[in-house]
Amino acid sequence: MAGRQSTWSSGKPRPAPLAGPEKDRIIAACEGFIRDVLKPRFLPAIRPTEFNYCVDIFGKWAGGRYRFIQLYRSGFVENLGDEFEAPFARLDYMGPGRFDIQWMRHTGKWWPLYAGLSLSRALAALESDELLHPI
């Protein structure tokens, strides 16, 4: 059926597949946002502790989604130096010029917060909404 949006079994819209120059433009904008906004604000310096501590903020594209991720390193004696990733926000590409924003809850489940935003408005929401900030 023309114009019908594909959905997950839960009935939620599935992010649209994307490749080529549009995908490259989105990735470049997100990487610039991480470099110019997130890292200076939330990771101006790496401060090792005896607990888990953040050593990087980066992004990854998977399917029709761009995840914002913190990389943590362990300072605990029993696993000193081990690293793990913790995503904190996600942009879902829903079609030309439309993005949904999801937040990673403490339960490990993604939770929808915004729908149908342009890329610039989505990045502005990521900058201003404290719920979407890295910890």
Whether 34 is covered by a domain: the verdict is: yes
Residue 99 is part of which domain span? Answer: 27-132
- Model confidence, pTM: 0.85
* DSSP conformation class of 53: E
Whether 7 is covered by a domain: the verdict is: no
Whether 40 is covered by a domain: the verdict is: yes
Whether 72 is covered by a domain: the verdict is: yes
Tell me which residues of the chain have a pLDDT lower than 50: 1-9
- Sequence-distant contacts of 110-119: CB under 8 A, at least 24 apart: 112/12, 119/26, 119/29, 119/91
Whether 14 is covered by a domain: the verdict is: no
Number of Cα atoms under 13 Å in the Cβ half of residue 44 = 2
Across the beta sheet with 83-95, what order do the strands follow? 52-62, 65-74, 83-95, 98-104, 110-117
Whether 6 is covered by a domain: the verdict is: no
Whether 102 is covered by a domain: the verdict is: yes
83-122 pLDDT, tens digit per residue, is 999 999 999 999 999 999 999 999 999 999 999 999 999 9
Q: What is the pLDDT of residue 9?
A: 45
Let me know: does 110 contact 102? Beta carbons within 8 Å.
yes
Q: What is the pLDDT of residue 39?
A: 98
Whether 21 is covered by a domain: the verdict is: no
Number of folded domains that form the chain: 1
Q: How far is residue 96's CA from residue 79's CA, in Å, rounded to a whole number? A: 44
Q: What is the pLDDT of residue 2?
A: 43
